[in-house]
Chains A and B, each alone.
Chain A
Amino acid sequence: MPVLEIKKIKKFFGKLKAVNGISFAVDENEIFGLLGPNGSGKTTTQRILTTLLAPTSGEIYYDNKQLSDENANDIRHRIGYVPQGECLFGDLTIEENLRFFAAPYNLDKNHEKNKINELLERLELGDRRKHLVKNLSGGLNKRASIAAALLHEPKILFLDEVTMGLDPNSRYHIWGLIRELKNTTTIIMTTHYMDEAEDLCDRIAILSKGKIMDIDNPHKIIKRYHAKDLNEVIGRVIEREK
């Protein structure tokens, strides 16, 4: 049974058709990638799925329950989100940020404390817990953001270009973490790094101009296109759309 299913989602901004009738389903513990050039509708789709934007039309189901204004807050209890840019408060320490983001989930005090300690250790942030977020490097900042998104043990984790701008070391560290999370969490990620998608994703959807051009396992897609890698596939898709 899919944990997330979307049917014919459209999102128009005036005349711009940012998302134009896409449908797909994501299974439990799957890593699902949304790929495509800039402006293809990846981020808009993710923003719709994370309740930040209401679709112009279409339906979204989380565990077979349709997302609506009334149950949006229930859905927010089940999802975690790591946006592309800065998402923690720079003037708070890592630990303060985690406590703040844990507040709306009504976790038991001890559970909250243990969870924060566990995540800080797991993400190798234990010795930086008292550091202000604004003083952290990009990689550490991203790890802290992931920790904040995992506090309430979400069923689905959304990652928006989570390794963007990071050095190779930090990227590999986060890749390892995503692989680890796969055992307990469904992950929906957007990325511009094709090697990342090839390596991590069980399935990918290639988007262009708000439509899904292909959806399958990345290796199967590469084979189908007789391409050497996903970069070539995306290049061909863009070329075809021109």
Chain B
Amino acid sequence: MKNIVAVAKYQLVRMARDWRLMVMILSQPIVIAVVVGFMAYQEPDGMKIAVANTIQSKYSQKLVDELRESDGLNLTELKEGGKELVLKNGYRAVVIIDVSPFENSGGSVKVYSDPVGGIASLAAKEAISKAVSTVARDMAKEQLEVDVNSFDAKMRQNLPSNIAAMLPQVELDDFKQTELSLGFYDATDFDLQHFDYYASAIMVLLVFLVVLNTAGISITSDREKGTFERLSVTPFTKTDIIMGNALSQFVIGLSVIIIGMLTLKLVFAISIGSFWLLSLLSVICVACAVNLGLLISAITKTVVESVELAMYAFFMAVLTCGIITPSETAHGAYLFLKKYLPFSYAVTASREINMMNANWQDIASDIYVLIVFTVIFMISAIWALRRGTK
């Protein structure tokens, strides 16, 4: 333990003395959070949506009208078409109304959205959901009105006319509790903005971006300078070197996540769920990123190699964390990759805490997976580390 602390302490002192590096590291969470924040913090407008209204019925037309009145949508009505319209002509989503008869309750609407549409796709989905919900509610209400009048008439038919005359008219209001709805519910307790969807992922990616690079070059830069060769002739074990470096990089990573989260909270007022769960997740995310970085440093021979591999890992993180695309419907190969890399677990847990106010049970499985990845990365880094420079 003494050796680990010695490695960690002097690594930290060295990093702290390199003020330009420290400025770069510690300003990254602020600058990137602000830039990405301004990029993502927007209400999309003029999104191109196609509606294939093949039925041309009363309610399908009403849905088209609702969509036309929705904020932010630029609607094109087509007589026919399918999901192939998405990505063609820049449509963010295509709404296909193809179930007949739409007048009956239980009618359905298929919405195919742009898989890489980001915020625009999300906003389009939200607008379409609202419109469908409104039409469905009207449809159900009208259907119910028909049923109530029919019930009333039938009841009076079977009674003597003098008794029937004494009965009060059955009002629709008496049946309100049975009103139908299509069940579009908000999954969150908060008044979430689109940016909240991204903020959590941005924080996780930020940690990976900074820590993968700093941890990734920590050993290779010493190798290139020759100091690692000297270190290798001392009784410091490989475990001392990896864990000592991990400890010092962990301090840096934690600083990054704290600064980044504060920036997002203070500048963009993102919603934050349980503070303690978020802290726990942050600690584990940083540990995971640090150990992946050290594994990169252990298996590469030069700083250039380390940076390349760190960037490679970072882009894998971006692509597989689920920030760009809602991945549930993606190709099986992508889902396989996502399952066996740690990034999506970190982003999912972070989103659940920040957006869904999740408790421990909700995120426990994600946390366990991240811990397993962290341990695997650490053991692999210790195993892969080679003494000497050649």
Contacts and interface: CB of A to CB of B under 8 A. Distances in A.
B14 A105 contact: no
Contact of B226 (A47, A77, A85, A104): A85
Interface stretch (B163-171, B184-192, B233-241, B312-320): B233-241
B388 interface: yes
Given A76-B234, A87-B227, A91-B14, A52 B3 contact: no
B232 interface: yes
Q: Taking each of A47, A83, A100, which has the highest tally of chain B beta carbons within 10 Å of its own beta carbon?
A: A100
Interface string A42-82: 00000100111100000000000000000001001101110
B229 A53 contact: no
A104 B18 CA distance: 25
Interface residues of A, number: 32
Give the interface SS of chain B, mostly helix, strand, loop or mixed: helix
A137 B225 CA distance: 16
Nearest to B3: A104
A132 interface: yes
A101 interface: yes
A207 B227 CA distance: 27
Interface string A1-15: 000000000000000
A77 B227 contact: no
A60 to B, nearest CB: 14
Interface string B369-390: 0000000000000000001111
Interface residues of B, number: 26
A87 B229 contact: yes
Given A87-B227, A88-B227, A92-B10, A52 B388 contact: yes
Interface in A131-157: 132, 145, 148
Contacts of B230: 81, 83, 87-88, 101, 145, 148
Contact of B387 (A52, A90, A104): A52
Q: Taking each of B7, B10, B13, B235, which has the highest tally of chain A beta carbons within 10 Å of its own beta carbon?
A: B235
Given A53-B388, A83-B229, A132 B17 contact: yes
Nearest to B11: A89
Contacts of A80: 233
Nearest to B2: A103
Interface in B1-27: 2-3, 6-7, 10, 13-15, 17-18
Lowest 6 A-B CB distances belong to which pairs? A103-B6, A87-B230, A52-B388, A91-B14, A85-B226, A81-B233
Interface of A: 47, 50-53, 73, 76-77, 79-81, 83-92, 96, 99-101, 103-106, 132, 145, 148
Interface of B: 2-3, 6-7, 10, 13-15, 17-18, 225-227, 229-230, 232-237, 240, 387-390
12 contacts: A52-B229, A52-B389, A79-B233, A81-B233, A88-B227, A91-B14, A91-B17, A103-B3, A103-B236, A104-B3, A105-B234, A105-B235
